[in-house]
Chain A
């Protein structure tokens, strides 16, 4: 186990810079998730950490050691690939023991460690099988087993669940989290799925276009997104955004499209008349008599909750209700956001106000 320090790391492919100075401190034993849309540079950063890509500038250290010029195999890390990268011509046991074999470990030692890892991951009955004979979830576990056997300083996961079906993904999510709680190995996990990030991470790093947008615990990001991008990225369904102005005459309100008035708890200083983006999460709407006029467009019940798409001031918003309503498309309702849970962003910069 080790801490990892990523300091002002940049990466260019030719003249094209994909990472513009990224700094991420990772504490010993932490589970850090790098999350962001495709092309944000998260996988590149992970591959630089693994040593599979060169570092253009900046430093990456594992423990006390700067690893910029250290070969991947000397970095004492293990990586789980998106496509698992299992060796197809080796059995499960051989796959897991391969790194030990390359280190000239004795066969007793290899057997012992492979067996232990197999027990942790419930792979013992599959040790003699070949990867082709395994299901997706089993392959995924073998890939993790290969990492565990190494007993490395850091685990790296590169979108490990994206090839699994939805149900298995949820199960494996829990399994990986449980594994981390058990082994307490520093882990860096890359995903584009914010739910994976929210559910698994000690610390989430939201990346976008080669920069870090925000770092923090899952609930910090949910409660206090620093900018409109993070606000829209974290949470499902995504936060609603309405463009408009702050009005302060006695009570602070938000004046949105087509004169829609929405409540504000308090207006930021000197914000009267300022163009802002009003953000409200779908789950923070209620039906109230003093709410804004809304017309129901689509109703999507999921059983535990109901998603309602409605037009407010001509803009489509989505609201989620835990309680059951019998809305029909075309119904007129009054939607009211909880003013204490509303987010305001500067329209020009996208920064939180």
Chain B
């Protein structure tokens, strides 16, 4: 044995530092993590930090900015347009999310029943999600057009109204119009995800509840809702985050108008930074979204914490 072992040991001694490194678990582990870390730093950490930094400078397009501390935020605090955009964003998010949840849950429950042409209906429900956002936004733009709106045309032909509706010219009309467009686009995501959640609920639970004497409504309240609540938390977190940071729909349909009535924080940030050239101010507006997003994430973090009944193990 010793005769065989000796040359092997000698060979290990002779092997280079490089090849020995590749034998090490720690080194290899670090090597495998490099691509992931590089991607995270390049596309996530760097832009985020750059954004935070820009928010504290007076950088303009084409110029090098100076550090000005919180001056951008101080001026934003006195800026009524900024506060209007905060209000718009919250209104847009809350109104759209609530309706998306209600319609999405309704559709999911409907699609979970035995329906004729079920798979076809499911495919149709997904359609708004598949169309590129900008294209559907352009379609809504036409639907809301002050002269060519199909809604106004139909209502006039039906004799319900006498004048074309000014969808995008009136502040509240415009707000509700973009909310409706967002709902149309966001419902499929909510519906299909909740449907997936519904399908994980064992049918025997409903049978057991049926034998226990539950009515349809009681089955929904005591079985479906509690069993679906973890999925609801995930879906609604995503839905809220996506709605809060929405840009494409607004920018395509209203560009923030009329008189900033539909400006969201994201569109205002873009307008000030890119169109207006004040990169620093735009970044500050973007940064102002962070507390809201963190709050939403924290809310879902605590909401998502697995309820006691989901935890396994024994005590």
- Cβ contact within 8 Å between A89 and B309: yes
- Cβ contact within 8 Å between B212 and A132: no
The verdict on B307 contacting chain A, using a C-beta distance below 8 Å, is: yes
The verdict on B313 contacting chain A, using a C-beta distance below 8 Å, is: yes
The verdict on B207 contacting chain A, using a C-beta distance below 8 Å, is: yes
Q: Which residue of B lies closest to A79 (CB)?
A: B211
The verdict on B13 contacting chain A, using a C-beta distance below 8 Å, is: no
- Cβ contact within 8 Å between A132 and B310: yes
Distance in angstroms between the alpha carbons of A150 and B309 in the assembled complex: 24
If A85-B202, A102-B213 touch, whether A130 touches B308 (CB-CB below 8 Å) is yes
Given contacts A51-B210, A146-B208, 17 further A-B contacts (CB under 8 A): A73-B210, A78-B211, A79-B211, A83-B202, A85-B202, A85-B207, A88-B227, A89-B309, A98-B212, A99-B212, A99-B213, A102-B212, A102-B213, A102-B214, A102-B218, A103-B213, A130-B311
Bitwise interface map of B from 299 to 315 toward A, beta carbon under 8 Å scored 1, else 0? 00000000111111111
Distance in angstroms between the alpha carbons of A103 and B213 in the assembled complex: 7
30 pairs, A vs B, C-beta closer than 8 Å: A52-B210, A72-B210, A73-B210, A73-B213, A73-B214, A79-B211, A81-B204, A81-B207, A81-B208, A83-B202, A85-B202, A85-B205, A87-B205, A87-B208, A87-B222, A90-B309, A98-B209, A99-B211, A102-B212, A102-B213, A102-B218, A103-B213, A130-B309, A130-B311, A131-B309, A132-B309, A132-B310, A133-B313, A133-B315, A146-B208
In the complex, what's the smallest C-beta–C-beta distance from A105 to chain B, in angstroms? 11
Distance in angstroms between the alpha carbons of A201 and B108 in the assembled complex: 45
The verdict on B226 contacting chain A, using a C-beta distance below 8 Å, is: yes
In the complex, what's the smallest C-beta–C-beta distance from A139 to chain B, in angstroms? 13
Distance in angstroms between the alpha carbons of A102 and B309 in the assembled complex: 21
Nearest 5 A-B pairs (CB), nearest first?
A99-B212, A73-B213, A85-B204, A85-B208, A89-B226
A residues 271-327 touching B (CB-CB < 8 Å): none
Which residues of the partner chain B approach A88 to less than 8 Å between Cβ atoms? 227, 309-310
A residues 85-126 touching B (CB-CB < 8 Å): 85, 87-90, 98-99, 102-103
Q: Which residue of A lies closest to B315 (CB)?
A: A133
Distance in angstroms between the alpha carbons of A51 and B315 in the assembled complex: 38
Distance in angstroms between the alpha carbons of A204 and B211 in the assembled complex: 25
- Cβ contact within 8 Å between B227 and A89: yes
Question: Interface size bucket, A side?
Answer: 20 to 34
The verdict on A161 contacting chain B, using a C-beta distance below 8 Å, is: no
Distance in angstroms between the alpha carbons of A19 and B204 in the assembled complex: 22
Which residues of the partner chain B approach A78 to less than 8 Å between Cβ atoms? 211
If A89-B226, A98-B222, A102-B218 touch, whether A77 touches B211 (CB-CB below 8 Å) is yes
Which residues of the partner chain A approach B314 to less than 8 Å between Cβ atoms? 133
Which residues of the partner chain B approach A72 to less than 8 Å between Cβ atoms? 207, 210-211
The verdict on A50 contacting chain B, using a C-beta distance below 8 Å, is: yes
Which residues of the partner chain A approach B310 to less than 8 Å between Cβ atoms? 88, 132
Distance in angstroms between the alpha carbons of A85 and B204 in the assembled complex: 6
Distance in angstroms between the alpha carbons of A88 and B208 in the assembled complex: 12
Which residues of the partner chain A approach B222 to less than 8 Å between Cβ atoms? 87, 98
Which residues of B pack against A, CB within 8 Å? Answer: 202, 204-205, 207-214, 218, 222-223, 226-227, 307-315
CB < 8 Å neighbour of A52 from B207, B307, B312: B207
Q: Which residue of A lies closest to B225 (CB)?
A: A89
Which residues of the partner chain A approach B207 to less than 8 Å between Cβ atoms? 50, 52, 72, 79, 81, 85
Distance in angstroms between the alpha carbons of A77 and B212 in the assembled complex: 9
If A73-B211, A133-B313, A133-B314 touch, whether A89 touches B307 (CB-CB below 8 Å) is yes
- Cβ contact within 8 Å between B312 and A79: no
In the complex, what's the smallest C-beta–C-beta distance from B275 to chain A, in angstroms? 51
Which residues of the partner chain A approach B208 to less than 8 Å between Cβ atoms? 79, 81, 85, 87, 146
Q: Which residue of A lies closest to B212 (CB)?
A: A99
Which residues of the partner chain B approach A132 to less than 8 Å between Cβ atoms? 309-313
Distance in angstroms between the alpha carbons of A146 and B205 in the assembled complex: 13
Distance in angstroms between the alpha carbons of A132 and B315 in the assembled complex: 11
In the complex, what's the smallest C-beta–C-beta distance from A155 to chain B, in angstroms? 11
Distance in angstroms between the alpha carbons of A51 and B307 in the assembled complex: 33
Which residues of the partner chain A approach B311 to less than 8 Å between Cβ atoms? 130, 132
Distance in angstroms between the alpha carbons of A207 and B222 in the assembled complex: 37
Distance in angstroms between the alpha carbons of A99 and B214 in the assembled complex: 8
Q: Which residue of A lies closest to B308 (CB)?
A: A130
Which residues of the partner chain B approach A102 to less than 8 Å between Cβ atoms? 212-214, 218
Distance in angstroms between the alpha carbons of A88 and B311 in the assembled complex: 10
Which residues of the partner chain A approach B223 to less than 8 Å between Cβ atoms? 87
Distance in angstroms between the alpha carbons of A51 and B208 in the assembled complex: 11
Distance in angstroms between the alpha carbons of A85 and B202 in the assembled complex: 8
Distance in angstroms between the alpha carbons of A132 and B308 in the assembled complex: 10
Distance in angstroms between the alpha carbons of A72 and B212 in the assembled complex: 9
Distance in angstroms between the alpha carbons of A90 and B227 in the assembled complex: 10
Distance in angstroms between the alpha carbons of A82 and B227 in the assembled complex: 20
Which residues of the partner chain B approach A83 to less than 8 Å between Cβ atoms? 202, 204
Q: Which residue of B lies closest to A103 (CB)?
A: B213
Distance in angstroms between the alpha carbons of A51 and B211 in the assembled complex: 8
Q: Which residue of B lies closest to A152 (CB)?
A: B211
Q: Which residue of B lies closest to A132 (CB)?
A: B312
In the complex, what's the smallest C-beta–C-beta distance from B182 to chain A, in angstroms? 32
Q: Which residue of A lies closest to B201 (CB)?
A: A88
In the complex, what's the smallest C-beta–C-beta distance from A30 to chain B, in angstroms? 21
**Which of B202, B210, B227 counts the most chain A CB atoms within 10 A?**
B210
**Which of A78, A81, A87, A130 counts the most chain B CB atoms within 10 A?**
A87
